Structure 1
Amino acid sequence: MTFLKILGRYIITLFAASVLIFLLMRAVPGNPARVALGVNATEEAVAELTTSMGLDRPLLVQYGDWMGGLLTGNFGTSLSSQQDITAQVLDRAQVSLILVAVALVLALAIAIPVGMWTARRNGHMDATVVTALTQVGIAIPSFLVGIVLTAFFAINLGWLPANGWSPPNWGFGTFLSHLVMPVIALALVQGAILTRYVRSAVLDVLDQDYIRTARALGQSPAQALWRHGLRNAALPVLTVAGLQFTTLIVGAVVIEAVFVIPGLGSMLLDAVSVRDLTTVQSLIMLLVAFTLTINALTDAAYRFIDPRLREGAQS
């Protein structure tokens, strides 16, 4: 029943988001057909394109057509390029997912050991310094990290390409060389955020009675934490990691612009710059759906890991 509630809440939220996005796009001043044809287009041409795009039909019919297309994988036709949006989305989504997924893995690889170490060394000068550095990392935006990395490793040292993207099938080494700096730019900021949550979660666990009992039975602090506390510490970290995954998607929009990466973020910015409302509408809906999906999966995983939540929902 709990998972059905999560699914129901997900569907309702997704529906509400789609209605809001659709209405906001219709509230933007100007006729999309006029934007597509340019200022020199005749009224007859604008009227003809308006009819062919279905913009003269009732809003409810337009919404139904748009949602029907999305559910069947048809994102429509770009107003600016007159190309199929679906093909572009599939191509660009692979790039963005690789970038975001690798960045999250690296952020967790940094946050988990560093957060656990600073929690175990709580009160010592070395852990205090590292904790202070994570606060600095939180304050620095990812695009600034990307600019600094580009200036140092690409321009000064010439070790890495300054921008661009190379698919894995073009050569794995070239692929990695283009991936390193944007991933680090995203992962360092998110790693700093996650490190503080890991540290806080581990500190809470270390203060529990079952950890003290394990220590009294002869286990080392590391053994007691690993065997008895890690699962409980993982619960809040899992929630935050799911939320930060969606934050990474937003951050990737800027990073893709900084490193000229052909992902969904750069596609969205290009569509906004030319007022391609059809593309903007579909891309925003796709990003919202992906964000809500991640949140729903995180909620479900949280309840799966913690039996107390399942028992509470059943009672």
Structure 2
Amino acid sequence: MTGRMLRSLGRFLGLLAAASAVIFVLLRAVPGDPARVALGVNATDEAVAELSQRLGTDRPLLTQYGDWVGGLVTGDFGVSMASGRDITDTVLERAGVSLTLTLTAMALALVVAVPLGVRLARRPSFALDALTQVGMAVPSFLVGILAVALFSVRLGWLPANGWGTPAHAVLPVASLALVQAAILTRYVRAAVAEEMGKDYVRTGRAQGASISQVLYSSVLRNAALPVLTVTGLQLSTMVVGAVVVERVFAVPGLGSLLVSSVANRDLTAVQTVMMLLVAFTLAVNLVVDLLYAAVDPRSRR
């Protein structure tokens, strides 16, 4: 188990280092001088040279890369190329908002999807199957717009935008969670139904165990592996995919920061936000890999 953890951690760090290099090189390949973009086309050469020196863009690329990675490790995310201000506090605050939104939505989706998927595996329902199919087809931002129209505009129960109170979080979290719950319900249903048809279930039933006993003692544990895989994939994409929902509800998360930074050609903010998104994705994969070993001892070998 320890060896598996060390290998997984080593793979995580290696992929993180490779991703940082790719992001740095690709963004530096974008044409145009960031300092001139920040100051405008009418800026003098002296002003552009001064800003380039202050931002560090006049230094060799390897030096810039080393300074950026060193700042990421120490928690110093650098200075915005658009405003000239330190972005560390802003990025950390936005990251906290996005993680709160995403993790809460995924937790709510699992709370709905697992019991509903088990129920559909045991007793199929055409109406519930059709409902999950519709939920898979509807994008989260459309759910958000409809929720705003109903609960904010028509009924006036919840705020339409903003962040900071539990009431502000209800609609964006529900918009993300409903779509994810529909997707996860289908996978839970398929995984449990497949396990229910295996020989060990029939053997347990022949030995006098009830279907509920077999279900909770063995079936759910064996069905957890494919569900873990899908949950990890969905969680990885939710942070990036939540950008549209963040725009709908004016949630100050990483997605909206990334969009505004791209529009302002703020290279420092863009590469930092992209690196955080990649790190979150790799961290989710690392956790899923370790959970595999906890759920299924055979995977440790």
Determine the structure 1 residue equivalent to 2:161: 163
Question: Counterpart amino acid of 2:116?
Answer: V
Determine the structure 2 residue equivalent to 1:307: 297
Deviations 1:153-196 (A, max 9, x none): 11111111111112xxxxxxxx2211111011100111111111
Q: How does 1:1-315 map to 2 (within 5 A)?
A: 1-122=3-124, 127-166=125-164, 175-311=165-301
In structure 1, what is the Cα distance between the partners aligned to 2:232 and 2:19? 19
* CA drift at 1:150: 0.5
Any conservation in 2 of the 1:164–1:261 contact (CA below 8 Å)?
yes
Any conservation in 1 of the 2:108–2:177 contact (CA below 8 Å)?
yes
Deviations 1:79-123 (A, max 9, x none): 22322111111222221111111101110011101100110013x
Question: Counterpart amino acid of 2:120?
Answer: T
SS of the residue 1:24 aligns to: helix
* CA drift at 1:77: 0.9
Q: Could you tell which deviates more after superposition, 191-200 or 93-102?
A: 93-102
* CA drift at 1:57: 1.9
* CA drift at 1:62: 1.1
Which TM-score applies when normalising by structure 2? 0.96
Any conservation in 1 of the 2:138–2:179 contact (CA below 8 Å)?
yes
In structure 2, what is the Cα distance between the partners aligned to 1:10 and 1:228? 31
Question: Counterpart amino acid of 1:82?
Answer: G
In structure 1, what is the Cα distance between the partners aligned to 2:129 and 2:84? 51
Any conservation in 2 of the 1:25–1:277 contact (CA below 8 Å)?
yes
Any conservation in 2 of the 1:186–1:251 contact (CA below 8 Å)?
no
Question: Counterpart amino acid of 2:147?
Answer: L
* CA drift at 1:129: 2.5
In structure 1, what is the Cα distance between the partners aligned to 2:65 and 2:127? 54
Deviations 1:243-300 (A, max 9, x none): 1111211122111111001111111111112111110111101111111111111111
Which TM-score applies when normalising by structure 1? 0.92
In structure 1, what is the Cα distance between the partners aligned to 2:83 and 2:146? 34
* CA drift at 1:223: 2.3
In structure 2, what is the Cα distance between the partners aligned to 1:228 and 1:45? 69
Structure 1 alignment gaps of length 5 or more? 167-174
In structure 2, what is the Cα distance between the partners aligned to 1:176 and 1:137? 24
Identical amino acids, percent of aligned pairs: 60
* CA drift at 1:23: 0.8
Structure 1 runs of 4+ aligned residues shifted over 4 Å read none
- How many residues end up aligned between the 2 structures? 299
* CA drift at 1:142: 0.5
In structure 2, what is the Cα distance between the partners aligned to 1:137 and 1:309? 33
Structure 2 alignment gaps of length 5 or more? none
Any conservation in 2 of the 1:202–1:233 contact (CA below 8 Å)?
yes
Any conservation in 2 of the 1:69–1:76 contact (CA below 8 Å)?
yes
Deviations 1:139-159 (A, max 9, x none): 111011100100111111111
Question: Counterpart amino acid of 1:66?
Answer: W
In structure 2, what is the Cα distance between the partners aligned to 1:82 and 1:217? 72
